[in-house]
Amino acid sequence: MKFKNRKEAALLLVEKLMDYKDKDAVVLAIPRGGVPIGYIIAKSLNLPLEIVLSKKIGHPFHKEYAIGAVTLKNRILSPAANDIPDDYIEEETKKIKENLRQRFQKFCGDKEEMNLHGKILLVVDDGVATGNTVLSIIEMLREEKPKKIVIAIPVSPPDAFQNLQNSPFVDEVICLIVPNDFRAVGQFYEDFSEVDDEQVKDFLELAN
């Protein structure tokens, strides 16, 4: 199965998410590819659309190797951070938060981040490859004490899907296809055009 584009994938997800229409819920889209999908879901379910920004903390000697992750509000560290000096972690956290603040301002202007306490969170992306980004975001969202966390994605490989389902922080995972022959998210879209920053901004303005 292939989706024509992100719009088709979003409309198929909407069918699975109708229970959340008009509820005390918020759609949290992961930029950039998750935002067009989040927009359609938010509009269809009459819910607000927000973005959730996150960036990994890289190991001091292997920047690609994550020892933790940061959002604008929270930070998590993996056991791999145990041997890393505190001052490096604090410095990286500060730099990443500043970078995320700039990105948030670029997308949302002076708007404040929404208080997510007690709300149902629908976390949306255009697909996952490893699921690690989504899992780190979910773990940090738990700190906000939401009522429920739901992940809604069009496609995921079986192992990542299993990891999402097994997470103690996730209440429900909705995934349209879980193919065994997974190589990349874009493989399951006929049109997987890149989403740029301006498009993200436009979707967010249209949504709210």
CATH number at residue 104: 3.30.1310.20
Both 60 and 143 in a single domain? no
Mean pLDDT of the chain: 95
What is the distance between the alpha carbons of residues 113 and 111, in angstroms, rounded to a whole number? 7
Q: Which of 108, 123, 146 is the last residue of a domain?
A: 108
> Quick one: tokens of 123?
């976390």
Both 186 and 147 in a single domain? yes
CATH number at residue 46: 3.40.50.2020
For residue 1, the surrounding DSSP H or E stretch is none
How many CB atoms neighbour CB 110 within 10 A? 5
> Quick one: tokens of 52?
């959730």
Both 72 and 120 in a single domain? no
Q: What local confidence, expressed as pLDDT, does residue 41 receive?
A: 98
In a domain, 135, yes or no: yes
Task: Domain of residue 31: give its range.
Answer: 6-53+114-207
Interval 78-108: pLDDT, tens: 999 999 999 999 999 999 999 999 999 999 9
Count of domains observed in the chain:
2
Instruction: Note if the pTM is more than 0.75.
Output: yes
In a domain, 189, yes or no: yes
Both 133 and 186 in a single domain? yes
Q: Which residue has the tokens 């097994």?
A: 166
Interval 156-190: pLDDT, tens: 999 999 999 999 999 999 999 999 999 999 999 99
Both 187 and 136 in a single domain? yes
In a domain, 1, yes or no: no
Q: What local confidence, expressed as pLDDT, does residue 64 receive?
A: 85
